[in-house]
Amino acid sequence: MLRTLQALTGRTVLLILCAFLCSPLVIIIASLLWPDSAAWQHLINTVLSDYVFNSIVLTLGVGCGSLLLGTATAWCMTQYEFSLRQVMRWLLLLPLAIPAYIIAYTYTGILDVSGPLQSTLREAFDWQFGDYWFPEIRSLGGAILLMSLVLYPYVYILARTAFSEQSPRFKEVSALAGLSASQHFYRIVLPLARPALFTGVALAMMETLADYGTVAYFGINTFTTGIFRSWYAMGNQLLAIQLAGILCLFVLVVLVLEQHSRRRIKYYQASTVIDSRHDRIKLRGAQNITVSLICFLPVLFGFFIPVLQLVVWAMSQLDTLLSADYLTLVTSTFSLGVGVAILVVCIALLFSYQQRWANNRFSYWQIRLLSLGYALPGMVVAVGVLVVFGFADRQVNQLSHLISGEYVGLIFSGSLFAVMFAYCVRFLSIALQNTEAGFGRITPTIDDAAATLGASRLKTLVTIHSPLLRASLLSALLLVFVDVLKELPATLILRPFNFNTLAVRTYELASDERLVDAALPALTIVLVGLLPILWLTKALDNVNKGS
C-alpha cells in the first residue's frame, strides 16, 4: 500500500512538472486563437511578407546547402581512400563547434570594406572604393552560405552512417543490371539513405529557423527578428507571441514532413555495420586532390579561417584575459552552464526512469512532449517563458498589494530562475535521449533482482542504475553545458539586469561593430564547443568502425 501511494505521488509530481515545462508552448499556440486584427493588418501591409519570404528562402537555402555539403563529404569518406581521409574523420565535424552568429561576425570582419581582404586588393591594384565589385556578405545569400558551412555536419553524420551500412552487394547487383556509377548512386544509394538525409536536413532547417544572431546582425527580416522587434521596439506583446506561434507552426511543419518522408519507407539490410575497408576505391593523382579538396574546403571555410581570424583578433586583447570583468563573465557563464546541465540531467533521469518502470503510453507521450522543446527556437521559448512568469509575477504582486499594500516587483520573470527554466524546456530533449539510451542498455532482470531483495525504486536508481548510467549521464551533462554556452536569443531576452554570458557579450560587442573586442568571448565559446565534437567523433568512429 505504501509503495503504491509513493508511486502515485511520484507520478503526480512528474505530471505537474511536465505540464509546467510544456506551458510556454501551449500558451504560444493558444494565442493564435485570439489575433490582434489592427496589429496584424499593419504587419501585413508592411513587413510580414518579408518575414515569410526571408524565413522560407533562408531555411530552404540552408537545407539545400547542408544537403549538398554533407552528402558529398559523407560519400567521399565512405567510398574513397585518399590522402587526407584519416585526418578528415576528425576535421569534418569541427564546424559544429562554431555558432552561426560567430561565423557571421568573423566573415563580416574579413570581407567587409575595411576588412583585410578588400584592403589588400585595393593596395595591390591601386583601387579606390567603388572602382570594383565585391559580393556583399551581409545579405540573404551570405547568410545561407555561412549557415550551411556550420550546419552541414548534421547531414554528414547521418549520411556517413547510412552510406556505411549499405551492403557492397548493391554495387554488384547494379553492375549486373548494367547501371553506371552515377545511376547506381541516384537510383540505389540515395533512395536507401533518404530517411537519414532528410532527418539531417530537417535538423539544419530547424537550427536555421531558430537563429537570431546571424539574421539580426545581417539586417535580414525573419520571424525571429520580428518577434524581438514586436516585443521590445513596438511594445506589442500579443503580436510577438502570435509571431512566435507562427514560427512554431513552421517548425512543426518541418517535423511533420520529416516524419511523413519515412512513413512508408522501410529498408532492411543484411548487415548493419560492414567492413568496407577493401571496398573503398584508392585514388591517385588529380582524383586524389579533387576528393581531398571536396572534404577539406568546407572545414577550411567553416572552421579554420574564422578561428584563425578570431585568434588574430584575440591576440590583441590578451590584456583583458585576466581582467576582473572577463573572469566574472566566464565564471557566471560556466556556473550557469554547470547548474543548468545538472538540473536538466536530473529531470531527464526521473522521466526516463518513470518510463522504464511504468512503460505505458502515458509516460511515453510525456517524454515525447518534453522532447519538442529542442525543436523550438530559443526566441519562441523565451517569449513563452515571459508570458508564464509574467502572469505569475502579476498574481504575486496583486496578492502582496492586497496583504501589505506594496508591490514586490518582478520575482520570477526578472530572475535567473526564468533563464534556467527556459534552458530546461529547450535542452531537456538532449538529456532525455542519452538517459533513455542508457536505460535501454540495462537489462530488466537487474530491477527484478533489486525488488526481490527489497530495494525501493529510488534506492535502485541511486545505487544500481546511476553507476551503470555514468557514461550516458556524463555525455548528457557535456552536451547540455555546451548548448547553454552557445544559446543566444533566450539568454538575451530573459537574463536579469547586470548579468551577462559569453554569447550575449559577443553579440553586444559585434552589434556595436567592436569585432576585435568580441573575439575573445567568441573564441572561448568555440574552444569549449570542441569538447562534444571530440566525443561525437569517437562515437561516430565506433559506429562506423572500418568505414
* Judgement on whether residues 342 and 359 belong to the same structural domain of the protein: yes
* Judgement on whether residues 365 and 385 belong to the same structural domain of the protein: yes
- Residue 39 neighbours by CB distance under 10 Å: 16
Angstrom distance (rounded) from CA 147 to CA 423: 23
* Judgement on whether residues 91 and 195 belong to the same structural domain of the protein: yes
Q: Is residue 294's pLDDT more than 80?
A: yes
Average pLDDT for residues 142-158, to the nearest whole number?
A: 93
Q: Look up cell 505530471; give the residue.
A: 15
446 three-class SS: helix
pLDDT at 462: 78
* Judgement on whether residues 472 and 374 belong to the same structural domain of the protein: yes
Angstrom distance (rounded) from CA 526 to CA 505: 14
Q: Which three cell numbers stand for residue 3?
A: 509503495
pLDDT digits (tens, 9 = 90+) for 100-149: 999 999 999 998 887 788 888 888 888 887 777 888 889 999 999 999 99
CB 222 within 8 A of CB 208: no
- DSSP code string of 329-355: HHHHHHHHHHHHHHHHHHHHHHHHHHH
pLDDT at 471: 78
Is 537 among the domain residues?
no
* Judgement on whether residues 364 and 257 belong to the same structural domain of the protein: no
Question: What's the whole-model pTM score?
Answer: 0.84
pLDDT at 242: 85
pLDDT at 457: 74
Domain count, the chain: 2
Is 6 among the domain residues?
no
Is 1 among the domain residues?
no
Is 199 among the domain residues?
yes
pLDDT at 273: 44
| Overall size of the chain counted in residues | 547
* Judgement on whether residues 291 and 344 belong to the same structural domain of the protein: no
Is 40 among the domain residues?
no
pLDDT digits (tens, 9 = 90+) for 165-180: 776 777 767 677 777 6
Is 54 among the domain residues?
no
Q: What percent of the chain has pLDDT over 70?
A: 91
More confident residue, 483 or 374: 483
* Judgement on whether residues 196 and 331 belong to the same structural domain of the protein: no
Q: Look up cell 517563458; give the residue.
A: 385
* Judgement on whether residues 423 and 398 belong to the same structural domain of the protein: yes
pLDDT at 57: 95
Average pLDDT for residues 404-408, to the nearest whole number?
A: 80
The CATH number given to whatever domain includes residue 505 is: 1.10.3720.10
pLDDT digits (tens, 9 = 90+) for 238-283: 888 888 888 888 887 777 776 666 655 555 454 444 444 447 888 8
Q: Look up cell 511523413; give the residue.
A: 260
Q: Is residue 26's pLDDT more than 50?
A: yes
Is 42 among the domain residues?
no
* Judgement on whether residues 410 and 368 belong to the same structural domain of the protein: yes
Q: Is residue 198's pLDDT more than 90?
A: no
* Judgement on whether residues 139 and 215 belong to the same structural domain of the protein: yes
pLDDT digits (tens, 9 = 90+) for 42-72: 788 888 889 999 999 999 999 999 999 999 9
* Judgement on whether residues 291 and 304 belong to the same structural domain of the protein: yes
Q: How confident is the model at residue 291 (pLDDT cuts 50, 70, 90)?
A: very high
Please write down the long-range contacts of 262-268, taking CB distance under 8 Å and 24 or more positions apart.
Answer: 262/195, 262/198, 265/194, 265/195, 267/192, 267/195
CB 295 within 8 A of CB 89: no
More confident residue, 503 or 401: 503
pLDDT at 152: 94
Helix, strand and coil in the chain, % to nearest 5: 80, 0, 20
pLDDT digits (tens, 9 = 90+) for 335-355: 999 999 999 999 988 888 888
Q: Which domain holds residue 175?
A: 67-264+275-312
pLDDT at 271: 46
Q: Which residues pair with 281 in a beta bridge?
A: 80
Q: Is residue 537's pLDDT more than 70?
A: yes
* Judgement on whether residues 164 and 73 belong to the same structural domain of the protein: yes
Q: How confident is the model at residue 296 (pLDDT cuts 50, 70, 90)?
A: very high
Q: What is the CA radius of gyration of the chain?
A: 25
Residue 323 CA to its chain's centroid (Å): 31
Angstrom distance (rounded) from CA 74 to CA 85: 11
Judged by average pLDDT, the poorest of 74-88, 152-166, 462-476, 505-519 is: 462-476
281 three-class SS: strand
Is 5 among the domain residues?
no
